[in-house]
Structure 1
Amino acid sequence: MIFFTPVFTSIDLDLILIAMSIMFFAGFVKGAVGFALPMLAVSGIGSMLPAPVAVAAVMLPAMLTNVWQAFRDGPRAAWDSFWAFRLYVLLIICVMGLVAPLVSILSTEVLFVILGLGVTFFAIVQLAGWRPGPVIGASRIAAVISGVLAGIFGGLAAVTGPPVVLYLLAREVPKVEMVRVQGVIFLLGLLVVISVHGSTGVLNATTLPLSVMLIAPAFGGMAVGLLVQDRLEQETFRKVTLLVLIVAGLNLLRRGLLG
């Protein structure tokens, strides 16, 4: 059954409903652990739709949930988080802006392989328990490497989280501050990427309405995730999330290599 509107003329209604369910789950995970919405959503939606469509669909839900995450403790706290990491944030934003146009140039297969490798690698690293220590966290080289990697994957699919999480862990940033900093970084980066994709055609008459439709499921999932955030055994939930991400990353690789 096809969902006929002026903008949806070729997307099956069943696929839209599945995409909404995927976005709800991705929002839940984001609410519970502070990241992973784009990784889960792009992987899941990308299993059904072309990579550029999946990337575009994630844009608005990711941006608006990051507004919530960044400003949950008020504008002053968000500003303080930005200022404390301003050079790191600006590096990520600049790289994201430079890389984002590649989404409209690279083939779907290449995009899936790049994203699959990145998601799988970072999830395995974190699941294995490796966390960079404070010596690495204090290194400017580590900040640059993390910022560039976050910018590359953020520009391709809003998947900024893993390099940022590892860097903030190395800096020994407290949990609440860490979640807020992630929200600020993801929000500002996505604002840049969305402005770029408005001109590249990735956000268009079909993908923009789809992205709008996925906002409500993302918010609903995130609200539930926030409610249970402090009640969950965080380490167990984190490991389960990482296992899901590994499966998601391998699925992206499968799509990129086998179609």
Structure 2
Amino acid sequence: MPAPFDTLLFWLLAGIGVILTGISKSGFAGGAGVVAVPLLAFAVPLPLAAVIMLPVLLFMDIRTIHLYRKHASLATLKHLVPAAFVGIALGGSVMGMLSTAALELITGVISIVFASWQWISSSLQRFQQAGWFWGTVSGVTSTLIHAGGPPINVYFLGRNLPKLQWLGTAAVLFGVMNLTKVIPYSLNGFWELRLLLVSVLLLPAAWLGVQLGHGIQQRIGGDTFTRICRVLLMISGAGLVVKGLFFTSVV
């Protein structure tokens, strides 16, 4: 599959997506930074976008775990990790079976749902304590488009976790999940040397995003940042739905 890594569009979308993801992971438990893969999918096929982001996310995980590991809740992790493994297995199976167009449609719909999370989450309050459910959903969405934050944040919200415990638990959980996702990505034959090289070139943007997020979370509540990410996610999600329906087969 051709990957136009030499285009300005790719590096612009990649830079924006990686920096926003880094800010979100280290400052807001990953809940808002799900825009990287949907943005990159406008420049490269969606599976390639997901593969490029995985090493970048692992790099971010090392930093965020270092920052917040002392605040992680072991009891919460024991409850969520097994369910997340089930979700990763399901997501990996889906990713290997579906066409790029189908994945773009699914990604677009997921993006729109997550962009609308503020308005629909109230109807899901009665399910907030179902850790097995949110852990599994997070595993699926994390595998497909690295968007495991919003489902987990619904669960954390229901448990009223303190801010630092929220950040620490999310950091460790997503570190475990991202490391585990290497397995389904390998089984599906997605790894290529050129993609790893692109990931390495994006690491400075990842470092910058994590540093910015750590500083931002000490100063603001994150509402403005979250709103910006929701708008980007809604636009990119709608664009992917259109692209999957009408343009993928001819691109």
- Pick aligned residue for 2:62 from 60, 63, 67: 67
Cα distance change on mapping 1:121 and 1:157 into 2, 3 Å: same
For the 8 Å contact 2:37–2:49, the answer to whether it is kept is yes
Distance 1:231 1:245 in 2: 24
Cα distance change on mapping 1:55 and 1:23 into 2, 3 Å: same
For the 8 Å contact 1:96–1:155, the answer to whether it is kept is yes
Correspondence for 1:12:
6
Shift of 1:37: 7.0
- Pick aligned residue for 1:113 from 105, 130, 134: 105
* 2:5 counterpart letter in structure 1: I
Could you list the per-position Cα deviations for residues 53-107 of structure 1 after superposition, in whole angstroms to 9, with x for gaps in the alignment?
1010110111221222233134x544xx244331222211232034224323311
Correspondence for 1:245:
233
Cα distance change on mapping 1:106 and 1:163 into 2, 3 Å: same
Structure 1 gap ranges (5+)? 1-7
Shift of 1:147: 1.9
Residue 203 of structure 1 aligns to a residue whose secondary structure is coil
**Which range is displaced more, 99-108 or 171-180?**
99-108
Cα distance change on mapping 1:37 and 1:211 into 2, 3 Å: farther
Correspondence for 1:212:
200
- Pick aligned residue for 2:77 from 72, 77, 85: 85
Shift of 1:40: 0.9
Could you list the per-position Cα deviations for residues 183-202 of structure 1 after superposition, in whole angstroms to 9, with x for gaps in the alignment?
12211111111132123221
- Pick aligned residue for 1:51 from 22, 46, 65: 46
Distance 2:227 2:123 in 1: 14
- Pick aligned residue for 1:222 from 210, 221, 227: 210
* 1:216 counterpart letter in structure 2: P
**Which range is displaced more, 163-172 or 64-73?**
64-73
Correspondence for 1:126:
118
Distance 1:194 1:215 in 2: 18
For the 8 Å contact 1:27–1:219, the answer to whether it is kept is yes
TM-score normalised to structure 2 length: 0.85
Shift of 1:217: 0.8
Shift of 1:10: 5.6
TM-score normalised to structure 1 length: 0.83
Distance 2:100 2:74 in 1: 34
Could you list the per-position Cα deviations for residues 154-178 of structure 1 after superposition, in whole angstroms to 9, with x for gaps in the alignment?
2212211111111111111111111
Distance 1:239 1:38 in 2: 11
For the 8 Å contact 2:92–2:144, the answer to whether it is kept is yes
For the 8 Å contact 1:37–1:62, the answer to whether it is kept is no
Residue 206 of structure 1 aligns to a residue whose secondary structure is helix
Shift of 1:249: 2.0
Residue 68 of structure 2 aligns to a residue whose secondary structure is coil
Distance 1:36 1:49 in 2: 24
* 1:122 counterpart letter in structure 2: F
Q: Percent identity?
A: 22
Shift of 1:13: 4.3
Where do 4+ consecutive residues of structure 1 move more than 6 Å? none
- Pick aligned residue for 1:184 from 169, 172, 175: 172
Residue 34 of structure 2 aligns to a residue whose secondary structure is helix
Q: Does the alignment pair 1:147 with 2:135? A: yes
Distance 1:125 1:37 in 2: 10
Residue 232 of structure 2 aligns to a residue whose secondary structure is helix
Structure 2 counterparts to residues 248-259 of structure 1, below 5 A: 248-259=236-247
Structure 2 gap ranges (5+)? none
Cα distance change on mapping 1:30 and 1:254 into 2, 3 Å: farther
Distance 2:181 2:139 in 1: 10
